[in-house]
Amino acid sequence: PLKPESASGLVKRARRVSGQIVFSPRVQIDSNPQPRPGLRGQTDGNAPLRARAGKRPRWVQVLYDFEAQPDTGELSIVCGEVLTVIRTDVGEGWWEGMNPSGDTGLFPEAYVREITDDPDDGGPPSMAPPPLPPDYSSPGSDNHTQMGWQAPAASHAAPASTANNDDWGNGAWGVSAQPTPDAGADPWSQPAAPPATAPVAPTQPYQNNQAYDDDWDSDFDEPSASHNNNQMPPPNTTPGGGMLGVPKNAPQTGSMGDVSSIGRSDSKKAGTGAATTRTSFNRFSTFVKSGGENFVLGKINVNVQENDIIQVVDSGDGRYSWLNAQPPFSCSIASPKKESKLKGLKSFIAYQLTPSFNNIQVSRRYKHFDWLHERLSEKFSFIPIPPLPDKQIQGRYEDEFIEHRRKQLQSFVDRVCRHPILSQSEVWQHFLTCTDDKKWKAGKRKAEKDSLVGGALYLAVRGPNKPIDPAHLEREISVFTTFSANMDASVKNMVKVCSDQTQKYQTHLKREYSTIGKSFTQLGESMQLSGDNNANINLTNAITMTGEAYEEISELFEEQPKNDWERFGDVMHDYRGLLAGWPNVLQIHQGAVGKKKEFERLALDGKFGQAELIEMGNRTDTMSYGVLAEVNTFHGQRTTDMKLAHQQFLQEQITFYQKCQFDSMATTNASREDGEEVANERSPLLSNHDVPEVDVRVYKMRWYILVVFSLLGIYQGMVWNTFGPISSSVLAVFCPEWTDATLALYGNWGNIMYIIPVIPVMWFFVNKGLRASMVLTSSLMLIGTMLRVFPVKVSVFTVMCHICAILNGIAGIVIFSAPSAVSSAWFPPEERTTATGVAIVFNNLGNAVSFLLGPAIVPGTNGTHWHNASASLALEEVLGQESNNSCPVVPEGEAEKMEQGVAHLMYLEFGMVAACFLAILIYFPSKPKHPPSLTSAMERMEFGPGLKKICTNRNALLMTLSFSLFNGLIASWYSVMNITFEPLPLGNADDKDRIIGYIGLWAIVGNSVSAILVSRMVDSIRGRMKLTLLVLMSLGILCWIWLGLLCLRVIPFSLIQLYVSTIAASALTYSTGPIFFEFTVELVYPVPEGIVGGFLTTVYNSIGMIFLFLFYVPQIAIHPHWIPYAIMGSTVISFPLMLLVQEQYNRASLDLAI
């Protein structure tokens, strides 16, 4: 016989074919082996022999043919050939070996027998091949179970082996043969001895590809799991270095399951009531690898804790859902930053995660996400795990890439947080909350050693306590299988479309429009060189502007994909990953159902017990309930995601094309002569498919809505200023309960109650709509005015009046905030500013009406006060001046008339408010059946995001500050106008009150007329709001400076100058209000108009309250000469703020499309 030539370093390999020995080429042994990379389980063919230098090689002979599957690391073997064993510790019935041709790979342990003698001896085999188990040869087996495996045509004769020389014993598990205590006992009845230390093929330390920032490195590895100086092998490797890729916690039974028990006595036992273990031969089937087969067969026995239980509940109508009793939460990813280690040799990006349930920030890298994804995928075999962003080779540290990856990781985190099972998993909670390095490593080891993974996790699933309907199950699974396959194809196609469109926008279309723009610009520049003075300048400018417009459009094309195609593509990327996980889930379930049907046939033949069949059915139903629950979860989330993604995509597309149209129309308008309008023409850049079809209609009922809203505004102003014009009468009638302080507090409730509840009232307005808000507002006013009409004691009446003032102040939030919302919902674009102006004006008219109505009904004592005395009275108290709080002596009949007049005024205001309340209750819809414009039909942002946007928008903040400084302080100044005019020679006290009253009255009239006229002008000259504001503000500032210099006596005083400067300054200031409202709406669209109005008026009132608060500071109030300086300073400061605003018409540009 031939012997190995170990001295010469050569190894002879041979194979036995039909009794002949054929020598294979000899291979030189290298003293410094370097394994070559390969497929899973594939190593250098010489490695095992080098590792065994000086030791006896181990050979096996093939008993059955085995055909390897491509790209699996398997080795095709032929019956009779001799293999050299490389490793036996692969596990789960697989060995690694090398054939005579030098090819290496994995082969089934059960297909070979070990050769104890040298294969070159040519002696007979030590034993015959074991008989096939009845499981795989019974005629009742179907093709699906057999997986196409057939027994070999001929068997090999072999002498019987002894119990101590069982070649199918411990060697099958890589354990050296040990003598058993009882030679006659079955070797499998004894516990396996610990694995003996055996030489293993040398492994090459795993090196990170530095092209990936996200791969593993040593700072994430555990010392106990490290190899070769703490360097971790690649994922899915075995301790020996092979790339097997099987779950490390998978049980040592399965596919081939009990194939290693061939020839054992217990494997031959079969009969009625005995459970025959029929496992699949396809070791690499998803059903087997996941552990699903072992669960169905009842081979898994893992302890399940109470907190590990996963409950499936019946949702009715044949649907099942996961039960999640925990409160929902979210997690934000922010502040990605580049970090480094090893003194800068290793760089990476760290992302900061903040879960909502504890608001404690943790830092995670992409490799941590990758580890988490691997753990979730391994544990939850019945749940498709959301995908992670693809890895990047180049540009990993570019800001644009980092931000895009952050958004994709945020999407992954959001999906896991929303999932009822994944969000409550222990590994996910550990990922979100662990901040300590030691605890992190301990939790990592615990997750990697988790026994409830794959098929074992089904032990924790609890479904409804009833068998599932097979017909319903088959129908649901069939429908979903068809659906998922079709959707997978559609999503993949859409991913490609999104990518193609992004590239097309940023390259082809950008280049094309840029070329067109440069051509027009060149043409316009050449026409300017004609030297013809009679040439049409407008035409030349229009051509040049056309080129500029096309250049701007080319830039829009470059930036646009980030807003629509990329965002939509990210959603499609997520669903491509989710749908890619469903085939495995469905295959596992299909394998379970098939296994159940197989045993049902065996039970009919009397080969399987009914009790065991019922248990198997329950386990299969558990898997079915889990799949149906996950299908239901997937459908629910899919509907939400697709709706939101589609809406966002269409919104961005519409906005984009309207920007293009706006540029085009500006150019077209510039080329028209004699003021030709093209506002209603569609831009040639837009097709009929770019903007959704909207049935736009304008209803005459819009004027009814505006009148009712405006009347309620008048009444709110009247109630707020009820007692100011009749202060002398009420002080005389209700003395001593009423004092000057009572009147001052009553007047200030409007400002106080505007600030405190503004947020909840704005939320109600935005979420519940215009009608509900108007009903609430009118109800508050109705209750408040009703409390004042009851004949009660003066002390009780005083409390009722304060309650009315509080309720009326809350109602003022909607009255002041809603004008733009009313105009947007009911009026076409060419009337919106006018409608907003009317609504604002009428509220101001309420104060004017109160000056007329109150004195006309309530008799006065020494004349009627024509101004609101609240601030001046407060000033008197602060300065220590005595207020006339002593009760005047009024004739009894006159006092009774005054008291009756006050009562009549209370009844009249209550009746007015009640009539308006009934009108709103009968008919006041939030919006018409058909919108008056395109943007009226479009959805606005939700309250939270909308409020955040306006608070962080630079233009909106500049507009709000400019509006508040220019209007808010002036509005509060009216109440202290008499103090400002104190140094002026206006005669005695009665003359001064009369003059101030007339100035206030005519100022209100001028304000109303100017506001409506200017608003109508702005509607007719669209797109010039900023210019109009700057002109009005310039003129108003000049008038306020004029008035300030008069009050400071810098210029000679005259009464006519006082009238003209005050009324003109007031009218110019007040006329800017509607424009401020509408222009701010344009800047922050699609923020709801109610939020815009509420935000503007809140800051507006805050500035006014700060101004009035200064009068309560004695050191300031004692010198009223500062008031003109404050007026001039606030108005002047507001002007540069307006200059900084960038003009945008986001809403108007959309409405031009129809």
Q: Per-residue confidence at 179, pLDDT binned at 50, 70, 90?
A: very low
Q: What is the pLDDT of residues 1000-1031, one digit of tens each?
A: 778 888 888 999 999 999 988 877 899 999 99
pLDDT for residue 113: 87
What is the rounded CA–CA span in Å between residue 266 and residue 327?
A: 51
CATH of the domain at 350: 3.30.1520.10
Residue 824, SS3?
A: helix
Q: Would you say residue 138 has pLDDT above 70?
A: no
What confidence score (pLDDT) does residue 395 get? Answer: 58
Query: Do both 873 and 1022 map to the same domain?
Result: yes
Extract the tokens encoding 842.
Answer: 């009428």
Integer Cα distance of 374 and 604 in angstroms: 42
Residues 770-788 as b/e (b if ≥16 CB within 10 A, e otherwise) read: beebbebbbbbbbbbbebb
Amino acid letter for position 866: W
Residue 200 has pLDDT above 60, yes or no: no
Q: Which residue has the higher pLDDT, 209 or 364?
A: 364
* 493 and 584 in a common domain: yes
Lowest mean pLDDT among 21-25, 72-76, 493-497: 21-25
Q: Which of the given ranges, 61-75, 964-978, 1002-1016, 1070-1084, has the highest pLDDT on average?
A: 1070-1084
Question: pLDDT digits over 1048-1059, tens only?
Answer: 888 888 889 999
pLDDT in tens, 37-63: 333 334 444 444 443 444 567 889 998
1128 plus 1023 within the same structural domain: yes
Which three-class secondary structure state does DSSP give residue 598?
helix
Q: Which of 246-250, 276-280, 694-698, 933-937 has the highest mean pLDDT?
A: 933-937
Residue at 473: amino acid letter: L
Residues 183-192, mean pLDDT to the nearest whole number: 38
Q: Looking at the structure, tell me whether residues 757 and 665 fall in a common domain.
A: no
CATH number of the domain residue 789 falls in: 1.20.1250.20
Distance CA 729, CA 902 (A): 9
Rounded to 5 degrees, φ, ψ at 934 are -60, -45
pLDDT, residue 866, reads 37
Burial of 313 (0-12, 13-18, 19+ CB in 10 A): middle
What letter does residue 187 receive in the DSSP assignment? Answer: G
Q: Who has greater pLDDT, 663 or 659?
A: 659
pLDDT score recorded for residue 252? 36
Residues 6+ apart with CB under 8 A from 293: 254, 255, 257, 279, 280, 287, 455, 591, 592, 595
pLDDT surpasses 60 at 141:
no
The answer to whether residues 657 and 775 belong to one domain is no
**Mean pLDDT (whole number) for 944-953:** 90
Interval 423-430 mean pLDDT: 92
418 and 481 co-located in one domain: no
- Do 618 and 754 reside in the same domain of the chain? no
Query: Which of the four pLDDT bands, split at 50, 70 and 90, describes residue 688?
Result: very low
Please compute the mean of the pLDDT values over residues 476-490 and round it to a whole number.
93
Taking a C-beta distance cutoff of 8 angstroms, is the pair 1010, 838 a contact?
no
Spatial CA neighbour of 1074 closest among 1122, 1128, 1126, 1008: 1008
What's the rounded mean pLDDT across residues 24-41?
A: 38
pLDDT-wise least confident of 123-132, 460-469, 773-782: 123-132
Alpha helices (H) along 563-609? 565-604
Task: Look at strands 346-355 and 362-365 and give their pairing.
Answer: antiparallel
> Is the same domain home to 787 and 735?
yes
Mean pLDDT of the 964-992 span: 80
Taking the C-alpha atoms of residue 100 and residue 1045, their distance in angstroms, rounded to an integer, is: 110
438 found inside a domain: yes
Other CB atoms within a 10 A radius of the CB of residue 811 amount to 32
For residue 934, what pLDDT is reported?
85
Strand 104-108: give its sheet, edge to edge: 104-108, 94-98, 82-91, 59-62, 112-115
Q: Give the number of domains in the chain.
A: 4
pLDDT, tens digit, for every residue of 293-351?
889 888 888 888 888 899 999 988 888 999 887 888 999 998 888 888 776 777 888 99
The rounded percent of the chain whose pLDDT value lies above 90 is: 32
Residue 281 lies in a domain: no
Q: Tell me if 119 sits within 8 A of 60, measured CB to CB.
A: no
Residue 160: is its pLDDT beyond 50?
no
Tell me what percent of the residues of the chain surpass a pLDDT of 70. Answer: 72
Are 481 and 514 in a shared domain? yes
Do residues 774 and 920 lie in contact, with contact meaning Cβ atoms separated by under 8 Å? yes
Looking at per-residue confidence, does 540 or 589 come out higher?
A: 589
349 forms beta bridges with 338
Instruction: State the pLDDT confidence band at 693, using cuts at 50, 70 and 90.
Output: low
CB neighbour list of residue 1005: distance below 8 Å, 6 or more residues apart? 848
Last-in-domain residue among 451, 480, 514: 451
Which of 255-269, 321-335, 420-434: highest mean pLDDT?
Answer: 420-434
pLDDT for the residue 533:
58
**Exposure string over 316-330, b if 16+ CB within 10 A, otherwise e:** eeeebbbebeeeeee
* 664 and 719 inside one domain: no
Characterize the bridge pairing of strands 112-115 and 27-28: unpaired
pTM confidence score: 0.46
Q: State how far the Cα of 367 lies from the Cα of 215, in Å rounded to an integer.
A: 6
- What pLDDT is stored for residue 887 in this prediction? 64
Contacts of 763 (CB under 8 A, 6+ apart): 943
Q: What distance in Å separates the CA atoms of residue 169 and residue 276, rounded to the nearest whole number?
A: 21
Q: Note the pLDDT tens digit of each residue in 498-515.
A: 999 999 998 898 899 899
Domain CATH number, residue 606:
1.20.1270.60
* Any domain includes 302: no
Q: What is the pLDDT of residue 422?
A: 93
Q: Which amino acid is at 1054?
A: S
> At 724, is the pLDDT very low, low, confident or very high (cuts 50, 70, 90)?
confident
Residue 283, pLDDT score: 55
Rg (CA), the chain: 43
Instruction: Sheet containing 346-355: give its strands across.
Output: 331-341, 346-355, 362-365
The pLDDT of residue 892:
66
Q: Work out the number of other CB atoms within 10 angstroms of the CB of residue 102.
A: 14
Degrees (nearest 5) of the Cα angle 604, 610, 614?
Answer: 115
Per-residue burial over 923-934, b if 16 or more Cβ lie within 10 Å, else e, is: ebebbbeebbbb
Average pLDDT rounded to a whole number, residues 897-926: 92
Task: Yes or no: say if 454 and 381 are a contact pair by the CB < 8 Å rule.
Answer: yes
Q: Across residues 507-531, what is the average pLDDT?
A: 86
Instruction: Return the pLDDT at 1141.
Output: 92
Of residues 1123 and 237, the one with the higher pLDDT is: 1123
Of 821, 1080, 837, 771, which is closest to residue 940 (Cα–Cα)?
A: 821
Whether 157 has a pLDDT exceeding 50, the answer reads no
For 100-132, the pLDDT digits (tens) are 888 888 888 888 888 876 665 544 444 444 444
Give the mean pLDDT of the chain: 76
**Domain range for residue 353?**
330-451
Instruction: Give the pLDDT of residue 776.
Output: 94
Contacts of residues 2-5 at CB distance under 8 Å and 24 or more positions apart, as own/partner, are 2/118, 2/120, 2/121, 3/118, 3/120, 4/57, 4/118
Q: How many CB atoms lie within 10 A of CB 448?
A: 17
Per-residue model confidence (pLDDT) at position 331? 94
* Coil/strand/helix, residue 319: strand
pLDDT score for 480 = 94
Whether residue 288 is contained in a domain is answered as no
* Pairing status of strand 461-462 against strand 310-316: parallel
Among 656, 671, 686, which residue terminates a domain? 671
265 within some domain: no
Residues 957 and 1085 in one domain: yes
Q: Between 382 and 173, whose confidence is greater?
A: 382
Within a domain: 747: yes
Show Cβ contacts of residue 106 under 8 Å, excluding neighbours closer than 6 positions: 40, 41, 72, 73, 74, 75, 90, 94, 95, 96, 242, 244
Assess whether 427 and 475 both reside in one domain.
Answer: no
pLDDT band at 705 (very low <50, low <70, confident <90, very high): very high
Domain contains 104: yes
909 found inside a domain: yes
Q: Where are the alpha helices (DSSP H) in 67-190?
A: 143-146
| Mean pLDDT computed over 963-978 | 84
27-28 and 10-11 beta bridge pairing: antiparallel
**What was the pLDDT predicted at 48?**
42
Q: Which of 671, 693, 716 is the last residue of a domain?
A: 671
- Residue with the larger pLDDT of the pair 875 and 230: 875
Take residue 803 and report the two structure tokens written for it. 């309650």
Alpha-carbon span 390 to 403, nearest angstrom: 14
Q: Range with the lowest mean pLDDT among 474-478, 792-796, 862-866?
A: 862-866
Question: Which domain CATH number covers 99?
Answer: 2.30.30.40
> Please, which pLDDT band fits residue 280 given cuts at 50, 70 and 90?
low
* Higher-confidence position of 443 and 979: 443
Report the distance separating Cα 198 and Cα 89, nearest Å: 10
